[in-house]
Structure 1
């Protein structure tokens, strides 16, 4: 060590955390020993900082208000404790002065590295999704923070805390999604409620670590491709069901009509004609049954009105078959004449 270095160490006048990086939560003031503390005249705690005095592994005093403290004359408990310790300690390793960040650490991003898996309550198939968002926190209990997290570490960063916090977030979100049974179509609309539930459960965990969770948000979710494909298929079927309903057909009937169209487009005229005939016969039974049901439910009407309604319904459905291409114009005209003649 140079002579200049020795004198600089012997005549230290200020103890402070000058390099107050935004990424550091906890910082040990380096090279604090007997001589430096004796010769230091001031302790500077800047805004957004706190100071901790640790003796023999235990926190013995804390400063949480910014200010300039005179190490010789101030009556602050921290200074009094420091003076007593430095007069009697035998080894420089027994006494440590630490600084910590008192401001809130905001907008810390989190995300699920692997998909969360659970059973969709509506469709009853397993789905996988990833989520991401952000959170904010601050050190609320420096004693718990020191005991539960810091230990003998000289420095603890925001990135170190992020790794610890994110692992707890994933555990809680997985539990909430599984127990809450949120359906695929509900997830996006439930972000606020899920965020509140996660925050409530994480609050106790943070408190045990000496931290306070001031904000937690879910920003987006992303489902795996297999889940997206399944939902797309279900959506297509739903559209077909709605379309069939508007045509007074069931989904099964609609599928039969689709089969007729597909058969008509394919080669092999006889087979296609047979498929049309069989499906047409099945549809005819359905239409007849619908007509019988209609007549039964309207039994309060007189016979003539019921017969008129029956013929009208048959003509309506006959027209639909013509428009769908199931029957030809000639077949339509012949059947229409048969129905009208019954009037």
Structure 2
């Protein structure tokens, strides 16, 4: 049976709703109809039902089969000034909320975010990933996102969620504390950091961000090309340095002390490490003992 299967009847005595993919909340305002006292309300696993009367939140029902009467409608009873045991039909808005986790949602930066990188200066970064969420605080969601709407879907609120993610991303990366190369190399830690930044924004709407992942961090093509060129130059420099190191350390007619002096100059200018110098120095000294 779909939502309120007895809509053709003046008095509704069976109320239920089967979750629909991508739907977070559904309300039926009972236009011209009344709920029969003793009506059966079915709340399935992962659902919460709220009753409203004249714009005011009233009673909430969690999973189970409920018989609607004054005993389990205390707030609505108070709003309507019912006497205990009141058994006449009544009107109220009934809203079903799905607390099912909405998985596999995608997010991404529509425009590059400018961040201050400690190594390369200002960089424009793009980021993409996935996240999941669910309704955590039903009352907050009802007031801040549902309002007077009859239906709220994931598609309705996703632009707002993505905007919150983009703001959190810009704030987290804008400090420039971590170099872009290090960020890209440790996406798990960055994902956790960004989830912590996203959580408060989701919470204000009654939502919980249950998972958050960065799947890609990238730079504009022209910036990436410049970094690739710089990296290639560094590699070429390393190769040249290694060749000079090998030449200086190779057996030759030169005195060992002369070769050690050459190696020491390479250490001084930073062309080789102290560890490499010490190893070759020991090797050269060993030949003359």
> What's the TM-score once normalised by structure 1's chain length?
0.63
Superposition pairs for residues 102-251 of structure 1, below 5 Å?
102-124=99-121, 126-248=122-244
How many residues of Structure 1 are paired with residues of Structure 2 in the alignment? 243
Superposition pairs for residues 1-343 of structure 1, below 5 Å?
8-18=8-18, 20-33=19-32, 35-38=33-36, 41-63=39-61, 65-72=62-69, 75-76=71-72, 79-82=73-76, 95-124=92-121, 126-248=122-244, 309=258
Q: 1:42 to 1:81 in 2, by over 3 A?
A: farther
SS in 2 for 1:22: coil
Larger mean CA deviation between 41-50 and 7-16 belongs to 7-16
Larger mean CA deviation between 216-225 and 182-191 belongs to 182-191
CA distance in 2, matches of 1:86, 1:168: 40
| Alignment-derived partner of residue 326 in structure 1 | none
Bigger radius of gyration, 1 or 2? 1
Equivalent residues of 2:38, 2:67 under 8 A apart:
no
Equivalent residues of 1:12, 1:39 under 8 A apart:
no
Equivalent residues of 1:9, 1:36 under 8 A apart:
no
Runs (5+) with no aligned partner, structure 1: 1-5, 250-289, 291-303, 314-343
Please give the per-residue CA displacement for 1:216-271, whole angstroms capped at 9, x wherever unaligned: 1111122211111110110121022112212339xxxxxxxxxxxxxxxxxxxxxx
CA distance in 2, matches of 1:236, 1:57: 66
> What's the TM-score once normalised by structure 2's chain length?
0.74
Equivalent residues of 1:11, 1:39 under 8 A apart:
no
SS in 2 for 1:9: coil
Equivalent residues of 2:49, 2:60 under 8 A apart:
yes
Q: 1:197 to 1:180 in 2, by over 3 A?
A: farther
More strand by share: 2
Please give the per-residue CA displacement for 1:281-336, whole angstroms capped at 9, x wherever unaligned: xxxxxxxxx9xxxxxxxxxxxxx969x838x97xxxxxxxxxxxxxxxxxxxxxxx
Equivalent residues of 1:37, 1:86 under 8 A apart:
no
| Alignment-derived partner of residue 86 in structure 2 | none
Identify which of structures 1 and 2 has the higher relative contact order when contacts are C-alpha pairs closer than 8 Å and 6+ apart: 2
CA distance in 1, matches of 2:50, 2:7: 27
- Shift in Å, 1:11: 4.5
Equivalent residues of 2:172, 2:197 under 8 A apart:
no
CA distance in 2, matches of 1:11, 1:210: 33
